[in-house]
Amino acid sequence: MGEIDPAFIQETEYRPIFKTIEADEEIPLIDLSVSTPSDTERSCVKDWRSEQEVGIFSSDQSWGAVGTKAKDREDPTLIPASDDPDDKELRVLTNQWPHKPSELRELCQEYTRQVEKLAFKLLELISLSLGLPADRLNGYFKDQISFARFNHYPPCPAPHLALGVGRHKDGGALTILSQDDVGGLQIGRRSDGEWIPVKPIPDAFIINIGNCMQVWSNDLYWSAEHRVVVNSQRERLSIPFFFFPSHYVDIKPLDELINEQNPAKYKEFNWGKFFASRNRSDYKKREGENIQIDHFKASE
């Protein structure tokens, strides 16, 4: 293996420190495989609100209950061309499918269809857990701009100098992440920012709360900062599915969750513009001027 390309070397403060950390709280594991939806709903709704110290949870893959039928994936997807609020131009995103392997396209489409159903199921359970009707959030996904990404992290000759993905929070509603058994994902613990490894669990997805959910729920749900470290031995594969609202949706705390005692903690922002700005900046090595959800905090 050769030298590391200097472009991948992180500033000292962002380099990973490899030490064994015993998480004092495990990532909660939720089993969605129980056959009757009402059982599923009862157990999840009971558990979820308490998961919010962690901001991330796992869910067993053999989920049984099916939610609202997801709108079929539209190809191409339209998103704002820039984060300039006055720029009405839309950018067209089109999937570029290779010819080989020939079954790749079909498999990926089937995967996203299924994982999208899971996303709607989770969305409905989260709505219920907030004391809202199950379909309260569904309308925001009519022209959803969700997508899946296939991440390949090759072995790295200098894992202590680089990161697979720099620290960030996912912008959308939810992320459903499938990962192999290598490991590398870490979340920043809410209490002290310590990086805690998210150990792979066979047949389980990692569910990440995104910024939109944090804002809709007026901070009852919280999106955890996370990053990916690499290693010198094994390549790693992961597939996040980013469950994103329609680009024209304006995101703000839900009216039902705010009142005089509990005012809105965020100002309204346009999801498409927020995404356009994040999309171009979030994977830079340094934080710099990245737009983060805290920029939309309402003034106290």
Ligand X SMILES: O=C(O)CCC(=O)C(=O)O
Chain contacts with ligand X (rule: CB under 6 A): 149, 151, 165, 170, 177, 179, 185, 226, 228, 238, 240
Map residue 92 onto helix, strand or coil.
Answer: strand
Taking the complex as a whole, how short is the minimal distance between the CB of residue 226 and Fe ion, in angstroms?
Answer: 6
Q: Which does 179 bind (CB under 5 to 8 A by kind): Fe ion, ligand X, none?
A: ligand X
Q: Which does 151 bind (CB under 5 to 8 A by kind): Fe ion, ligand X, none?
A: ligand X
Q: Please say which residue, 30 or 165, places its beta carbon nearer to ligand X.
A: 165
Q: Which does 273 bind (CB under 5 to 8 A by kind): ligand X, Fe ion, none?
A: none
Q: Which does 177 bind (CB under 5 to 8 A by kind): Fe ion, ligand X, none?
A: ligand X
Q: Give me the phi and psi of 113, to 5 degrees please.
A: -60, -45
Q: Which does 228 bind (CB under 5 to 8 A by kind): Fe ion, ligand X, none?
A: ligand X
Picking from 142, 174, 171, 135, the residue whose alpha carbon sits closest to that of residue 78 is 142
Taking the complex as a whole, how short is the minimal distance between the CB of residue 140 and ligand X, in angstroms?
Answer: 20
Q: Please say which residue, 70 or 228, places its beta carbon nearer to Fe ion.
A: 228
Return d(Cα 123, Cα 126) in angstroms, integer. 5
Picking from 71, 58, 95, 76, the residue whose alpha carbon sits closest to that of residue 243 is 71
Taking the complex as a whole, how short is the minimal distance between the CB of residue 240 and Fe ion, in angstroms?
Answer: 6
Taking the complex as a whole, how short is the minimal distance between the CB of residue 264 and ligand X, in angstroms?
Answer: 27
- Strand-strand pairing, 195-197 and 185-188: antiparallel
Q: Which does 163 bind (CB under 5 to 8 A by kind): ligand X, Fe ion, none?
A: none
Tell me whether residue 206 is exposed, middle or buried, using C-beta atoms within 10 angstroms of its C-beta: 0 to 12, 13 to 18, 19 or more: buried
- Assigned token pair, 40: 């599923």
Picking from 133, 169, 142, 171, the residue whose alpha carbon sits closest to that of residue 269 is 171
Taking the complex as a whole, how short is the minimal distance between the CB of residue 206 and ligand X, in angstroms?
Answer: 7
Q: Please say which residue, 37 or 188, places its beta carbon nearer to ligand X.
A: 188
Q: Which residues bind Fe ion (CB under 5 A)?
A: 170
Q: Please say which residue, 130 or 291, places its beta carbon nearer to Fe ion.
A: 291
DSSP secondary structure string, 11-40? Answer: PGGGS--------SSPPPEE----SSHHHH
Q: Please say which residue, 129 or 175, places its beta carbon nearer to ligand X.
A: 175
Return d(Cα 85, Cα 185) in angstroms, integer. 34
Return d(Cα 183, Cα 196) in angstroms, integer. 12
Tell me whether residue 15 is exposed, middle or buried, using C-beta atoms within 10 angstroms of its C-beta: 0 to 12, 13 to 18, 19 or more: middle
Q: Which does 270 bind (CB under 5 to 8 A by kind): Fe ion, ligand X, none?
A: none
Q: Please say which residue, 184 or 253, places its beta carbon nearer to ligand X.
A: 184
Q: Name the residue whose CB lies closest to Fe ion.
A: 170
At 46, the amino acid letter reads: K
Q: Please say which residue, 241 or 269, places its beta carbon nearer to ligand X.
A: 241
Q: Please say which residue, 64 or 183, places its beta carbon nearer to ligand X.
A: 183
Return d(Cα 121, Cα 142) in angstroms, integer. 15
Taking the complex as a whole, how short is the minimal distance between the CB of residue 194 and ligand X, in angstroms?
Answer: 18
Taking the complex as a whole, how short is the minimal distance between the CB of residue 53 and ligand X, in angstroms?
Answer: 20
Q: Which does 213 bind (CB under 5 to 8 A by kind): ligand X, Fe ion, none?
A: none
